[in-house]
Structure 1
Amino acid sequence: MDEFPLPGAIGLSHVRAYEWLAEDGVCGGSPHLHLACTEAYVVTGGRGAVQTLSADGYDQTELEAGVIAWFSPGTVHRMVRREDLAITVLMQNSGLPEAGDAVFTFPPEVLADPAAYAEAAALPAKQGPAAEAAARRRRDLAVQGFLELRAALVSGDFAPLREFHRAAAALVAPKLAEWVPKWRAGALAAAERTGAQLTALAAGDFSHLAEAGVRVATPSRRGGFGMCGRRDEYEIDGG
């Protein structure tokens, strides 16, 4: 078995929403969207919400243990903490978010300048007070843009959200060439393996069952500063 990804070659992490208070009096994460990945929250503890901006307008979905909420590409989402909210995040197309398939809701002037965006989004490589301060500044800047987008949607004006989508697509355009091979080696390859197995089984060939096995992974990094909160990450070959 050269490749043994998680089912469907998904990405997985554990997140605890940031406890930092934002300018609107809400504790939580950095609002952002994904351009090619559906994301799911599996709530394992605590209480909170996810605030979303989409073609359906502004919404807030309550979160508590046992709830699963997921959102498709283009949905701006902001994790909100009330009690000690703990979530297992399932991410489509493992490898793409790590390669840049996420854009923060920074104000338009930042989004329009790739260098300014990169500077605002970057965090120090080493964890510590400097990284925490940078993560908090990043979150606050994203909340600033999010609140402007939300106010427009609530008033019935969808133009700023459409403009944000346009700006987000322009920011990631230079990265698309590196996304395709990651997708082919991950999610597409996983689906193609299933197709090959079904074809083999239909022909009476069950030889792939002899390649069965078990893999175990533990977090490769704990407590990192993710987009939504403190994040325990995994590195799983083939996914």
Structure 2
Amino acid sequence: MQLFYNPNISASDSYRNTKEVTFDKEESRHIVKVLRMKEGDTFKITNGKGTFFNAEIISANPKGCLVKILSEENQSPLPYKLHLVVAPTKLNDRYEWFLEKATEIGVSEITPIICDHSERKVIKVERYEKILQSAMKQSLKAFLPVLNPAISFKEFIETKNDTDSLRFIAHCEETDKKSLKSLLLPKKNITILIGPEGDFSSEEIDLAIKNGFNPVALGESRLRTETAAVVACHSVAFVNEV
């Protein structure tokens, strides 16, 4: 199945057989020039909000491909809400790899967090959004993860504390901590903090614990930031498998 992304479509009965949608220049060129699709060809579109739309090309214009919505169907959301709060990596491509894999596995929300030991403090929001969109389409998902602006560790702890979720901080210090997998429960909202290459500072760990975050380990090995984030993401997905 070929899946495309268009955030400007809303799920509504009134759109069936009547709604026409135009793609932007980049997506239009991909449809017409790269895939060589033409008038009458059909494919699926998602708005990233949980709906698939079956569409037919009316005008195969590489600068503005026009399609007609034929029908729509909803995809079931994840049985959990996973918020990954992950420090940007020194090498940007590693963070992009994490974004891609987490989207494929299943994540609801991602927040880049700037920590005491962070070497990268500026992120490429537009680039990251493209990575998420591409991964969503590749994995045939109808939900686009929310990407929040980068925020400092302290500000996140003070303002973004979801009291209705299970909250964890994964760190490498030799202190009393349990395995993440042993604490996870299915169908729960979950927030997991993952630090930078130099790990969280002792002060940050203490602050998180004082604010209700449980310290956890992700295994016996010392993992890179992006690997730790993907391991955490997969652990949550595994617990929620039927």
TM-score, scaled to structure 1: 0.25
Q: Which has the larger radius of gyration?
A: 2
Q: Which has the higher contact order (CA 8 A, sep 6+)?
A: 1
1 or 2, which has the higher helix percentage?
A: 1
Normalising by structure 2, we get a TM-score of 0.25
